[in-house]
Amino acid sequence: MKKESITNFVNILHQTHRAEWEATPLTENAISWLNELIQFLFPNNYLPKEAMYEGILKKSQADLENILLSYLDSGKINAEELADSFYGSLDTIYQDLRKDAARTFEYDPAASSVHEVIVSYPGFYAIAVYRIANRLTQLNIPVLPRILSEYAHSKTGIDIHPNAQIGVPFVIDHGTGIVIGATSIIGKNVIIYQGVTLGALYVNKQLSEVKRHPTVEDDVIIYARTTILGGGTVIGRNSIIGGSVFLTQSVEPNTSVFNTHQLRITSKKDTYEGHKIKMR
């Protein structure tokens, strides 16, 4: 590459990097803030003295404000007001998450306590990050919610877009491979197993402002590896969707949907198509 070409390339690269740098919060700072906030809400590594709680909360709020100031146009936004609005919602977020954890404990026979759910279940962690990121999204804060949700995705294998609307309580059992799209609407007391996708029928940038993902009403259970697609697809309340189901149409309330593939199980003494199974 000629010296002139190198110079031009470096200039373009620097200008692009600078523009993107200035419009993006530092991932390290965002993740540090998130982890410290979750540790404050659900202490596991250490338990601070009661007198320290207010100071920790104030530091957390100041950290969020500094993150927002680092990449948002201070002439167009008020970082202090945004941070204050988020922390004004923190009690509601916490109470909602306690309900999520309690419902998981009530539902899962393998759970020995609510605290076990909080400190060890990847599904609960993914929900916790979602509820934090969702509140930031409601405040029209860009980029930061996606950084947080993708961090949770990388840790748990559970991909919940922060724009999704999810009621309380919500249970994710096992969780790996779950995808919940941006315009999904999920009601209260919904339980979802691993490998479930709530997705769009097809992807087109022109549909960015259109509801593309399903609605799941209250008291629904969706079992493993099921795919439900389409913005007009509604899973009616109190329904059960079995494992490995593929749905692109709505389901009435109080409906059970199961895959019709039949599994045949035979013992070693049984016959198969009129012939004895030879034993070795």
Query: Mean pLDDT across the chain, nearest whole number?
Result: 92
Q: Residues 152, 63: one domain?
A: yes
What pLDDT sits at residue 270?
A: 52
Whole-number Å distance between alpha carbons of 70 and 128: 25
Give the CATH number for residue 214.
2.160.10.10
> What is the span of the domain harbouring residue 44?
21-158
* Residue 25 near residue 33 (C-beta atoms within 8 A): no
Question: How crowded is the C-beta side of 119, counted as CA atoms within 13 Å?
Answer: 11
Q: Residues 95, 144: one domain?
A: yes
The residue from 138, 158, 178 where one domain ends is 158
Model confidence band, residue 269 (pLDDT cutoffs 50, 70, 90): low
Please list the alpha-helical segments (H only) found in 42-192.
53-71, 79-88, 90-107, 114-120, 122-138, 144-156
Model confidence band, residue 262 (pLDDT cutoffs 50, 70, 90): confident
Whole-number Å distance between alpha carbons of 241 and 235: 9
What pLDDT sits at residue 157?
A: 98
